[in-house]
Structure 1
Amino acid sequence: MTKEVEAYKKFIDEVVSIKDAATSKWVARGSYPETKENQYRNEVLSSLSEAQREEVANIVQEAKESGVHDLLALLNQECSLAYQGIALPSEPFGTELNYDFVARLEADKWPR
């Protein structure tokens, strides 16, 4: 496998590694950091049951993943990318960046 394809895989896996939304964790625990700006949010969260907070946290997490997906789709269509100084190939596995992100997010193995 070429160094460009290895860099592509590393890039996608790095994007997957930063998928977790801090806000999702805050919602699940029922509290944003204690600041004046977050006071109302924390009041709303405290009015929800644990199951409701978990569902909202899932929605927040899905929103972040959707945003990453959409950005990768745009980059795939409109940009040339380099990662750690290596030009990334366009669709080395016949699929778009956003597709490869979702596949790796779901723990699919890389094609050989």
Structure 2
Amino acid sequence: MAELIPLPRTPRDPEPLWREALGDLLRRIRHARGERLADTAARAGVSPQYLSEVERGLKEPSSEMIAAIAGALDLTLVELTATIAGELRATASVSAGARGAFVLAA
């Protein structure tokens, strides 16, 4: 019977979770606009604590919450998701050469 033999892997950082990438981008946009957490949270209809947890990647916000926060920052969901996807693609292309491979041994 054949077995999978792992080839040596180059260590790499784990891929970020979607909620981490989202939170990081939201925080950077809010800071770039010079806004306080409380002001953005009030416009989004969420508590400052909740927005803080989203920005730190600790909460997995619903699509409705993401839309509310994006709207509070004058962003569309398309702009937000396209930016995150672009950033993740850029990160993935840098680390793509570090992926491990497996061979099938008979």
Instruction: Please classify the TM superposition score into its range, dividing by the shorter chain length.
Output: 0.3 to 0.5
TM-score relative to the length of structure 1: 0.34
TM-score relative to the length of structure 2: 0.35
Query: Higher helix share goes to which structure?
Result: 1
Q: Which has the higher contact order (CA 8 A, sep 6+)?
A: 2
Q: For the pair shown, which has the larger CA radius of gyration, 1 or 2? A: 2
